[in-house]
């Protein structure tokens, strides 16, 4: 179990480092044409609200400090995720929408989407205990 835990932490560090590197490179551009996010609950923007799972964050206290007083957003945080913060720093006008949201269609997809899902992982069995039949 310790090896998996160390690997899991290393995976998150590597993901964050690549996101940070991509963001730093993008800051040199005048505009960022699109941003696509892959990950787990650390960066989930609400995809789990649209799938059959018990791993949801669409209730209080999740999202209570989100800008605009939106309340529960499906994010596994009380406010913005690191992707939201980096997006603001890159000059994005809107938060990157969850891929499964009904409003993520047409030109919205061309500006980027968030594919992250709470409970996601690299192993086939990761998150299996959260699936509702």
- The count of other CB atoms within 10 Å of the CB of residue 53 is 17
With residues binned 3-state (H G I as helix, E B as strand, rest as coil), the percentages for the chain, rounded to 5, are 35, 5, 60
Cα–Cα distance for residue pair 71/93, rounded to 1 Å = 20
Catalytic site residue 41? yes
Partners of 37 in beta bridges = 114
In the numeric block, which tokens belong to residue 30?
């005048």
Q: What is the CA radius of gyration of the chain?
A: 15
Considering the candidates 15, 18, 23, 41, report the single residue annotated as catalytic: 41
Catalytic residues: 41
């Amino acid at each position: 179990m310790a090896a998996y835990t160390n690997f899991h932490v290393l995976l998150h560090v590597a993901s964050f480092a690549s996101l940070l590197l991509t963001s730093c490179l993008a800051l040199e551009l005048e505009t960022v044409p699109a941003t696509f996010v892959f990950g787990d609950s650390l960066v989930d923007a609400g995809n789990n609200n649209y799938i059959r799972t018990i791993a949801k964050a669409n209730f209080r206290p999740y999202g209570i400090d989100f800008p605009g007083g939106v309340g529960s957003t499906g994010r596994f945080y009380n406010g913005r995720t690191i992707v939201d913060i980096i997006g603001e720093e890159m000059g994005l006008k809107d938060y990157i929408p969850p891929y499964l949201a009904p409003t993520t269609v047409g030109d919205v997809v061309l500006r980027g989407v968030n594919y992250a899902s709470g409970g996601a992982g690299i192993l086939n069995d990761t998150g299996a205990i959260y699936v509702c039949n």
